[in-house]
């Protein structure tokens, strides 16, 4: 009897989940169209040429990134923007990250003075380059990524901070696109952009030469996953003031707001999720004297390396799952709290039930179906129907993401790539989704039972992607 009720509960969960996703797809599609129609002729060129455009500090926290760091810094320095500086923080790397930077960019130590004090681990030195006047490298004791970001803020000069990962490659106009909502609307205080896997990217001296899909199946399936996340989920959630995760790989925020929120939390497992939730708490608090907004920019694109071995993938997703719970529980006071408007009443419960807990509930669903089959409560036909329904629903969501992507300039360039992408969409729900569920289930177990708050294994950069052409 209980199993019956549980099966019904999980069925209702599925219907609710997909109903909400459908709503997000519709909102996402509308917003995407609105966004592209709202760009006027020559707008980005005007922003790029204007001496009045708000200057940006690009922050790159780096830990053991000797393989990728030069390309990433060159890419950041080459970005088309009227005024920007790049601050790289060497977060106590054990490899030659700092030495590589010193040699490649001709850095020299300077006695630089910071302007604000957010507590960070000890700063060991500040370096500048004679060849690249807008490059600053901060060397510090190892903290976490959050601590490195806070350290960079101490040395930033400009009112906008763009935080990217040390393996990221940003499209040449990426900053112009990201800055646009800040220039249009004084209420916008933070924005997130689109992140795509860089595993198929070819980069030459920091410039993108060609964009292709990743070769390995695991990375290709992450392409589908990222498309789902960025082409409708985030844009839809953003419209509902419920985008509780701006990817740390590409975020733009006003410096005064970053400082007012208290900077990144250095004990966080996933600093971007934790920071975004706290940012939402600050921005959408009804007691705030002025109205503020968090924007999503669907045409500002950044590429990041995704794991292409199961081992690294498992480590990364396990950490993300633990980090999601840590961040949500830290701001649990927002849950169903009308003080935070839609963020408290919809965003937080949605993130908890349909993101954080989905691994437990969906895994439970699979187990229950098998138990029901063994106990004779369900027939083999019914079980097959259940799996078929789950497959079709999941595939439809991924296809919707691909369809939306095809309507933008990020469309797949040639037919063979499109076939590969569609193949990945079909296989996603046959193996990778279930694998992902298991890893996230383990992450939940690790967080609540084993009390793991470490960062897991450091991702090994292969250096072959992105690579020199």
Partner 1 sequence: MITIISYVTGGLAATLLVLMAAIIMLNTVSGRRIATAKFLRSKMLPVLQEYLAGNAGEAAVIQELAQDREIALECLVETSHSLPSPARSRLHYFFDYFRFTQTLMEEAGNKRWSVCARAITQLGFTGNRECIPLLLQALYDEMLDVRLAAARALAQLGAGEAVEPILRSLALPGNLPQQSTAEILYEMGQVAVAHLLVFMRKYHRMEDATALAIAVRALGLLKADNAAPEIITLLSHPNAEVRLNSARTLGHIGSPIVIKPLLHRLQDPVWEVRSITVKALGYLGYPVAIPAIHKALEDTAWWVRYNAAEALFRLGETGISLLKHAMVVHPDRFARDISRQILEEHRAIAA
179-183-184-188 Cα dihedral, nearest 10 degrees = 70
For residues 16 and 9, what is the distance between their CA atoms, to the nearest angstrom? 10
Tell me how far, at minimum, the Cβ of 6 lies from partner 1, in Å. Answer: 16
Q: Which is nearer to partner 1, 184 or 450 (CB)?
A: 184
Tell me how far, at minimum, the Cβ of 449 lies from partner 1, in Å. Answer: 35
If DSSP states are collapsed to H, E and C, what string results for 409-445?
Answer: CCCCCCHHHHHHHHHHHHHHHHHHHHHHHHHHHHHHH
Q: Which is nearer to partner 1, 23 or 385 (CB)?
A: 385
For residues 244 and 426, what is the distance between their CA atoms, to the nearest angstrom? 28
359-363-364-366 Cα dihedral, nearest 10 degrees = 150
H-only helix segments in 39-84: 43-49, 69-77
Residues in the chain: 469
Tell me how far, at minimum, the Cβ of 419 lies from partner 1, in Å. Answer: 9
Q: Which is nearer to partner 1, 109 or 215 (CB)?
A: 109
Tell me how far, at minimum, the Cβ of 143 lies from partner 1, in Å. Answer: 24
Q: Which is nearer to partner 1, 50 or 83 (CB)?
A: 50
Tell me how far, at minimum, the Cβ of 416 lies from partner 1, in Å. Answer: 11
For residues 197 and 203, what is the distance between their CA atoms, to the nearest angstrom? 13
For residues 121 and 148, what is the distance between their CA atoms, to the nearest angstrom? 8
Q: Supply the DSSP symbol for 340.
A: G
Tell me how far, at minimum, the Cβ of 433 lies from partner 1, in Å. Answer: 15
Give the C-alpha distances (Å, rounded to integers) separating 30 from 25, 37, 44, 236, 241: 9, 11, 22, 9, 16
Q: Which is nearer to partner 1, 158 or 346 (CB)?
A: 158
With beta carbons less than 8 A apart as the criterion, state whether 194 and 302 touch. Answer: yes
For residues 244 and 272, what is the distance between their CA atoms, to the nearest angstrom? 9
Tell me how far, at minimum, the Cβ of 402 lies from partner 1, in Å. Answer: 6
- Binding residues for partner 1, rule: CB under 8 A, are 37-38, 40-42, 45-46, 50, 52-54, 108-113, 115-116, 128, 130, 133, 157, 180, 182-187, 382, 385, 388-389, 392-393, 395-396, 399-400, 402-403, 406-407, 411-412, 415, 418, 422
Tell me how far, at minimum, the Cβ of 225 lies from partner 1, in Å. Answer: 17
For residues 15 and 361, what is the distance between their CA atoms, to the nearest angstrom? 13
Q: Which is nearer to partner 1, 332 or 426 (CB)?
A: 426
Q: Is 266 helix (H, G, I), strand (E, B) or coil?
A: coil
For residues 459 and 205, what is the distance between their CA atoms, to the nearest angstrom? 23
Q: Which is nearer to partner 1, 183 or 455 (CB)?
A: 183
Tell me how far, at minimum, the Cβ of 4 lies from partner 1, in Å. Answer: 12
Q: Is 57 helix (H, G, I), strand (E, B) or coil?
A: strand
């Amino acid at each position: 009897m209980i199993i019956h009720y549980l099966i019904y509960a999980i069925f209702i969960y599925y219907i609710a989940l997909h109903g909400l996703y459908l709503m997000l797809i519709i909102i996402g599609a509308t917003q995407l169209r609105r966004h592209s129609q709202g760009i006027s002729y020559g707008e980005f060129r005007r922003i790029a040429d204007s001496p009045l455009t708000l200057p940006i500090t690009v922050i790159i926290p780096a830990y053991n990134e000797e393989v990728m760091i030069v390309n990433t810094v060159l890419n950041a320095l080459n970005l088309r923007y009227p005024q920007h500086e790049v601050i790289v923080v060497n977060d106590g790397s054990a490899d030659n990250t700092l030495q590589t930077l010193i040699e490649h960019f001709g850095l020299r130590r300077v006695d630089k003075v910071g302007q604000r004090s957010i507590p960070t681990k000890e700063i060991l030195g500040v370096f500048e380059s004679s060849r690249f006047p807008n490059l600053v490298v901060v060397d510090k004791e190892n903290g976490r990524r959050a601590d490195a970001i806070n350290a960079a803020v101490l040395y930033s000069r400009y009112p906008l901070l763009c935080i990217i990962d040390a393996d990221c490659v940003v499209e040449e106009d990426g900053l112009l696109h990201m800055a646009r909502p800040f220039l249009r609307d004084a209420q916008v205080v933070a924005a997130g952009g689109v992140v795509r896997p860089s595993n198929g990217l070819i980069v030459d001296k920091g410039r993108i030469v060609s964009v292709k899909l990743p070769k390995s199946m695991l990375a290709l399936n992450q392409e589908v996953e990222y498309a789902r996340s960025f082409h409708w989920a985030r844009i839809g959630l953003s419209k509902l003031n419920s985008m509780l995760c701006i990817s740390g790989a590409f975020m733009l925020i006003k410096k005064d707001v970053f400082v007012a929120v208290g900077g990144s939390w250095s004990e966080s497992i996933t600093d971007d999720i934790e920071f975004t939730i706290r940012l939402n708490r600050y921005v959408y608090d009804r007691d705030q004297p002025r109205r503020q907004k968090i924007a999503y920019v669907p045409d500002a694109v950044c590429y990041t390396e995704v794991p292409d071995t199961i081992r690294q993938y498992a480590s990364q997703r396990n950490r993300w799952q633990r980090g999601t719970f840590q961040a949500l529980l830290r701001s649990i006071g927002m849950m169903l709290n009308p003080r935070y408007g839609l963020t408290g009443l919809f965003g937080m419960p949605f993130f908890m039930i349909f993101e954080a807990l989905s691994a437990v509930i969906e895994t439970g669903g699979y187990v229950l179906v098998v138990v029901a089959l063994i106990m004779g409560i369900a027939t083999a036909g019914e079980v097959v129907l259940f799996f078929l329904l789950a497959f079709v629903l999941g595939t439809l969501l991924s296809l919707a993401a691909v369809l939306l992507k095809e309507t933008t300039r990020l469309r797949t360039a040639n037919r063979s790539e499109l076939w590969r992408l569609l193949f990945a969409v079909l296989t996603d729900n046959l193996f990778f989704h279930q694998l992902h569920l298991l890893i996230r289930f383990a992450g939940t177990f690790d967080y609540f039972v084993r009390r793991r708050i470490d960062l897991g294994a450091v991702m090994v950069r292969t250096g072959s992607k992105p690579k020199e052409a």
